[in-house]
Structure 1
Amino acid sequence: MHMKDVVLKPMHPEGWRFVGIFAAITFVLFLVWEPLGWLGVVLTVWCYYFFRDPVRQVPVGEDLVISPADGVISQIVDVVPPPELGMERVPMTRISIFMSVFNVHVNRAPVSGQLVRMAYTPGKFFNASLDKASEHNERNALRIRLHDGREVACVQIAGLVARRILPFVQEGAQLRAGERFGLIRFGSRLDVYLPQGVAPLVSEGQIMIAGETVLAELDTIRGARHFRAD
């Protein structure tokens, strides 16, 4: 691997206009006072890295639930899924992944299946690490039906700084595990609801890599894992 591949990461197209805005402001800051200009350079570089979209080695297997986000698991708890998804009002294991402003914010599908419902809910902007963020914050919820009829929910939640949730897919789409399905700008959280009877293979405080870290296995029979670059 070359050094440039380590430093220069692919950037999602959504980020170009923000980098352009930061760069224009930086130019003005240099005209006003050089130290402010260098501060602008730092912020412009941060903006570029915020929108980075690196290739991931996605484990292949219909029985795998993969992390949809980079970040740290803030909570694992049994709760009912969001009402707007129309799922049964029975507790499911929810894995909450908190993303700081330094994490990759491109989100990836946790499983392969059909997106049978997608529901956007406007709301408030509490700190995304708080439990009440799942209920009160702006969010975009996805209900994904697996090949065997079981369902997984995945919810993008805006945080204290985040102000825009951008979906890349539409209701009815066939998703592939690890596929990019959306992005949240500037700090947020992802909740994954596992089917009943499926136990998580991760723990609170563990660091996640979107599209790579396995959250759970839907079946108990394990075989050799294969990966694809995406």
Structure 2
Amino acid sequence: MFHKEGHRIILITAILLIAVNVISYLSINTYWIKFAILVISVIIFLLIIQFFRNPKRSTQHNDSHIMAPVDGKVVVIEEVFEKEFFNEKRLQVSIFMSPINVHVTRHPVGGIVRYSKYHPGKFLVAWHPKSSEENERTTVVVENPVAGKILYRQIAGALAKRIVNYAQEGQEVTQGSDSGFIKFGSRVDVLLPLGTKLNVKLQDKVKGGMSIIANIE
């Protein structure tokens, strides 16, 4: 299954690669060159479709669980001052996605979307300390009856040139459902109340909608 954000890109890529190979077949007489073009075309197409894959995930809904919003590696666990929405210190868990990870963003909790905002910005590498404040990003806050208000932020990286955010203020969302998509590498920050019990540590690999990154009692 492929994410809807990739349908157009996959189709355009397929058309362009077919055209390139037809032209090479008709105009190039050297067999190995034609074969090399075909092999490179197949590799490019496979890379594109694997990037936009959208595996079906069966999230076990639990209001006291904070699920990983994306696939990737935990690269930051620290206390930060969150000044966009809470204006107080929060516990930040950051998950970095490489280009080979699934790039679907999923709601880490279910509830009502209380805040959703897009910020244009730079394209610093996703692990840069200032990327959370200076890069292109979207901030979403979902209010959950047990966990309270949980903020998560999609952050564009050096390769990511477009962030898609589906969350709308006032919308009721389900834990594990699609929240957005980031094209070509990035990271997602989750901002939790101080003292939250974490189930992950630095360098742990997590799966969006499947891995429980924290418990809130």
Q: Under a length normalisation based on structure 2, what TM-score does the superposition of the two structures give?
A: 0.91
Partner of 2:7: 16
Q: Which of 1 and 2 has greater Rg? A: 2
Residue aligning to 1:156: 154
2:54 — aligned with what? Answer: 53
SS in 2 for 1:129: coil
Is 1:67 the counterpart of 2:68? The answer is: yes
Question: Does the 8 A contact of 2:146 with 2:216 survive in 1?
Answer: no
Q: What number of residue pairs does the alignment pair up?
A: 207
Q: Which runs of 5+ in 1 are unaligned?
A: 1-9, 220-230
Tell me the residue number matched to 1:135. 133
- Please give the residue correspondences for 1:215-226 in structure 2 after superposition, counting only pairs within 5 Å: 215-219=213-217
Report the alpha carbon displacement of residue 156 of structure 1 after superposing the two structures with TM.
0.3
Q: State the shift of 1:149 in Å.
A: 7.4
Structure 1 Cα separation of the partners of residues 102 and 147 of structure 2: 31
Q: Write out aligned runs for 1:192-207 (5 A).
A: 192-207=190-205
C-alpha distance in 2 between matches for 1:141 and 1:43: 32
Distance 1:39 1:108 in 2: 33
Q: Retained in 1: the 8 A contact 2:116–2:167?
A: no
Give the RMSD, CA atoms, in angstroms.
1.4
Q: Counterpart in 2 of 1:81?
A: 82
SS of the equivalent of 1:59 reads: coil
- Runs of 4 or more above 6 Å deviation: none
Indicate whether 1:105 and 2:103 are aligned: yes
Alignment partner, residue 181 of structure 2: 183
Q: Aligned to 1:80, what secondary structure does the other structure show? A: strand
1-structure distance, mates of 2:51, 2:147: 36
Deviations 1:146-173 (A, max 9, x none): 2147211000001111111111231111
The alpha carbon displacement at 1:197 in A equals: 2.5
TM-score, with length taken from structure 1: 0.86
